C-alpha cells in the first residue's frame, strides 16, 4: 500500500467511510434483502428479472445485478433500469434495457445465470454485482474471479462490458475494504472496460435518498443512480450504434 499514490489511497479511504455510512443499517445476519424477503416487505417490489419486452427483436442492454438493480422496495417502473429505458427512448435510441437484477445475488450468482442474461441480440452488458459479496465478507479473490469470468465470456461474444463498482462495509477491516475497492478499477484496466467507480455515488449515506434500510435507494435515489449509469452507458450505446451503422453501410 505504501507504493500507491496518495490520491488513490485517500480516494479508497474516503470510499471506506462512505461504505461505513452505507452499510450502517445492515447489522448481522447476511444481506438485508434476504432478511426483508417476506411478502409484506417485498410487496410491489422488483425482485425478479424483467424479461425482454415482448416482440422486441432489436439490440439489448442487459444490466446484471442484485437488489439495487432489481429495484427492491420500488415499483418496477421506478427502478433505475426502467428509468434508463425512458432516457433511451427520449434520445431516439432503439435499444431495449433488460433488468437482470435478482435480490440477494452475489457475483457467483450472476455468473451462474450469465448465459440466460446474454440471450438474444445483447450489445452491452452492465455488470452491477458485488454488494452482497461485500456484505457477506466473501473473499475479494473470489469476487475478482467471478467478475473476470463474466467479462471474459461477454467479450468473447462481442458484447461491450461496463463494470459498476461497489464498496464493502467496514466491519471486515480496512485491508478487506481497500482490497474490495481496488478490485473494480483493476478489472476495468485489465479488460479495458468502462468503469462506473461507484454505483451509488451521490446516493449512499444520504438519508432522504435511501429507504428505511439505509441501503436501497428511494425513487429519487434511483433517479440519481440512473444519472450515474447513463453518463457511461449513453456514449457506449452511441458508439455501438455507429459501429452497427458502419457494418451495414457497404450493403446499402
Q: Which residues are catalytic?
A: 67, 213, 216
- Ramachandran bin of 208, using left for φ above 0, alpha for ψ from -120 to 50, beta for the remaining angles: alpha
Q: What is the C-alpha separation between 91 and 86, in angstroms, rounded?
A: 9
130 burial via Cβ count (<10 Å: 0-12, 13-18, 19+): buried
Q: What is the C-alpha separation between 120 and 52, in angstroms, rounded?
A: 9
Cite the DSSP H helix spans in the chain.
Answer: 6-22, 32-35, 39-42, 67-70, 80-90, 107-112, 114-117, 131-136, 140-156, 174-191, 219-248
Phi and psi angles of residue 64, each rounded to the nearest 5 degrees, phi first: -95, 110
Which cell numbers in the block locate residue 151? 467479462
3-class DSSP state of 105: coil
Amino acid at each position: 500500500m505504501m507504493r500507491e499514490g496518495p490520491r488513490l489511497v485517500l480516494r479508497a479511504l474516503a470510499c471506506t467511510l462512505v461504505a461505513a455510512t452505507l452499510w450502517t443499517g445492515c447489522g448481522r445476519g447476511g444481506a438485508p434483502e434476504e432478511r426483508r424477503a417476506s411478502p409484506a416487505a417485498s410487496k410491489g417490489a422488483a425482485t425478479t428479472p424483467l424479461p425482454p419486452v415482448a416482440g422486441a427483436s432489436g439490440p439489448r442492454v442487459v444490466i446484471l445485478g442484485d437488489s439495487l438493480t432489481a429495484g427492491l422496495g420500488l415499483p418496477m417502473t421506478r427502478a433505475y433500469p426502467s428509468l434508463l429505458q425512458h432516457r433511451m427512448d427520449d434520445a431516439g435510441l432503439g435499444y431495449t434495457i433488460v433488468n437482470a437484477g435478482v435480490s440477494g445475488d452475489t457475483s457467483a450468482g450472476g455468473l451462474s445465470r450469465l448465459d440466460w442474461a446474454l440471450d438474444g441480440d445483447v450489445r452491452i452488458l452492465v455488470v452491477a454485482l458485488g454488494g452482497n459479496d461485500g456484505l457477506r465478507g466473501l473473499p475479494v479473490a473470489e469476487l475478482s474471479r467471478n467478475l473476470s469470468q463474466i467479462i471474459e465470456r461477454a467479450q468473447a461474444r462481442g458484447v461491450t462490458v461496463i463494470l459498476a463498482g461497489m464498496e464493502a462495509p467496514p466491519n471486515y477491516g480496512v485491508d478487506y475494504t481497500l482490497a474490495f475497492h481496488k478490485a473494480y478499477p483493476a478489472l476495468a484496466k485489465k479488460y479495458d472496460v468502462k468503469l462506473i467507480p461507484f454505483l451509488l455515488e451521490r446516493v449512499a449515506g444520504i438519508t432522504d435518498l435511501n429507504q428505511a434500510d439505509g441501503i436501497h435507494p428511494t425513487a429519487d435515489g434511483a433517479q440519481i443512480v440512473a444519472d450515474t449509469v447513463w453518463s457511461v452507458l449513453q456514449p457506449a450505446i452511441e458508439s455501438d450504434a455507429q459501429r452497427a451503422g458502419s457494418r451495414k453501410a457497404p450493403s446499402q
